[in-house]
Copies of this chain bind each other. A is one copy, B any other.
Amino acid sequence: MLTERAAALDAADPLAHIRDRFLLPDGVVYLDGNSLGALPAAVPAVVEDAVHRQWGTDLIRSWNGNGWWEAPLRTGDTLGRLIGAAPGQTVVGDSTSVQLFNTLLAAARMRPGARLLLTDPDHFPTDQYIADSVGRLLGLDVRRVPAREAAAVLAAEAGNVAVAAYAPVDYRTGELYDMAALTAAAHAAGALMHWDLCHAAGSLPVELDAIEADFAVGCGYKYLSGGPGAPAFAYVARRHQAGFDHPLTGWHGHTEPFAMSGTYAPGDGISRARISTPPLLSMLALEAALTAFDGVEMTAVRAKNLSLTGFFQDCADTLLDGLGFTMATPRDPERRGSQVALRHAEAYPLVAALTARGVIGDMRAPDLLRFGFNALYVTHADVLHAVQELHAVVTGGAHLAPAFQQRPTVT
């Protein structure tokens, strides 16, 4: 019955043909694209050209001749379409941590009277650490308020909050929050809204311009499939660009970078959010990867992701009942991102045993099994297979083998 349902859903999938834009290994069901996206088919040739022709042959001339100088803003605009950002507001480069620091500190400087910085106690660790770092440098108190309580705290602290820094999707449970509502609540309280889109960009129809978000950052290697450690992006709403006063004043953000002036004078528009020389092999891989989204509407991606995650939940209800799992991800589609997390006391060995059988998810301590679904290359048949394999592991006890009990450095 589940087999027929998977087949029917896949047969009716309007994005089914997009899977051919990825090079997926044989014998693997890949449900960890929320950590590292799969390899887009367009990437290898672009990277080879970047190495051999652009670097090896054209050498320094590539800055002009092969458009290296324009890459951060060019790729930013391409990526901007996927997050609802009109051109000229998105720059690509550096890591998410660095972009987060740079934009969060600049945002806080725009509210000099306010003394509070709000962030989520369930936010990804770096986001919390960087908020603390910015708070310490600027003398702001950092208060950790869960996303669902943030609107009330903003109302109570109206005028006191400089920035509210949140993520639309909880990186562990996949719970989805209402970006428009929280942005409006921040603005009503006189605060600026800062979004971390790591788990949203490429998986949801984020609408930064429409909801009047102020700042956003995100990474290039999850649902955007830009490759390991792909550069991050930063969004600075056009209305804030002239006042964008950031700490990472590298020469690429200067208004006349090649004048080699000893005094920083920020460039116009989003160009001032450039920092310095980006890692071009990784940058050009990301740019090539984004072509996998050509002609794909984010509403279609969202519809399929909801279908995949909903189907996973249904399969789990049927196949994993009574086996020690609980569902950590909301069942309400309105409150669900593009991943499903299950809690189980044996989370690590279960994920390890599953990986050995070719079904790749990941885990987050202490007890979460995470499965991410990228609509561009995951099928409903993959979903069913993954849950069937998990059922087989947990009922057969494969995870009890010593090889799966020892947690390595990175999981």
Contacts and interface: CB of A to CB of B under 8 A. Distances in A.
Given A94-B94, A129-B249, A229-B279, A23 B56 contact: yes
Contact of A97 (B47, B50, B248, B281): B248
Given A61-B360, A221-B277, A264-B129, A44 B51 contact: yes
A62 B128 contact: no
Given A25-B59, A43-B51, A48-B48, A129 B282 contact: no
Contact of A410 (B43, B129, B258): B258
Interface string A238-278: 00000000011111001001111111100000000001111
Given A64-B409, A94-B95, A281-B47, A125 B261 contact: yes
A71 to B, nearest CB: 9
A279 B60 contact: no
Contact of A47 (B51, B263, B278, B362): B51
A95 B281 contact: no
Nearest to A368: B260
Each complex incorporates copies of this chain amounting to 2
Contacts of A30: 59
Interface stretch (A31-39, A316-324, A397-405): A31-39
Nearest to A355: B61
B279 A231 contact: yes
Contacts of A130: 248-250
Given A57-B25, A227-B55, A248-B133, A262 B121 contact: yes
A101 B229 contact: no
Nearest to A48: B48
Contacts of A263: 128-129, 132
Identify the interface centre among A25, A56, A130: most chain B CB within 10 Å of its CB: A56
- Per CB-CB distance, the 4 closest pairs between chain A and chain B, nearest first, are A97-B250, A279-B282, A39-B56, A228-B280
